């Protein structure tokens, strides 16, 4: 009886771990905004120039540079990018409703 109970506990543990692992694999990995910013800000001056944006992996940054650059100083800073991401999220959420 004790052996069967122990087997059941082990089986439940294994199935729970497998399920959690499967869920992790299906979820998109979250991107770290700080790391992304640092990878684009190649001269490490704390802002992204049009040239740096043009060289970024994602063409959206370059295409929408002027829209994101709300203070029109020809650079993107972390606050402008954060505000743009929040605006994009709000727009997506509104479309879903």
pLDDT at residue number 52: 96
Alpha helices in the chain (DSSP H): 2-26, 33-40, 50-55, 59-63, 65-68, 78-96
pLDDT at residue number 10: 60
Going residue by residue through the chain, which has 97 residues, state the pLDDT in tens, using 9 for 90 and above: 556 566 655 656 666 665 555 555 556 667 788 999 999 999 999 999 999 999 998 899 999 999 999 999 999 999 999 999 999 999 988 888 7
Sign of CA dihedral 33, 95, 53, 56: positive
pTM above 0.85? no
pLDDT at residue number 32: 85
Residue 15 is encoded by which pair of tokens? 């199935």
Q: What does DSSP assign to residue 47?
A: S
Buried b (16+ CB within 10 A) or exposed e, 47-62: bbbeebbeebeeeebe
């Amino acid at each position: 009886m004790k052996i069967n109970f122990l087997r059941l506990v082990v089986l439940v543990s294994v199935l729970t771990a497998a399920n959690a692992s499967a869920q992790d694999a299906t979820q998109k990995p979250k991107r770290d905004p700080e790391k992304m910013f640092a990878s684009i800000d190649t001269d490490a001056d704390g802002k992204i120039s049009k040239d740096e944006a043009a060289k970024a992996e994602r063409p959206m940054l370059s295409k929408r540079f002027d829209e994101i650059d709300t203070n029109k100083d020809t650079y993107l800073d972390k606050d402008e990018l954060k505000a743009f991401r929040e605006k994009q999220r709000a727009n997506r959420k509104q479309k879903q409703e």
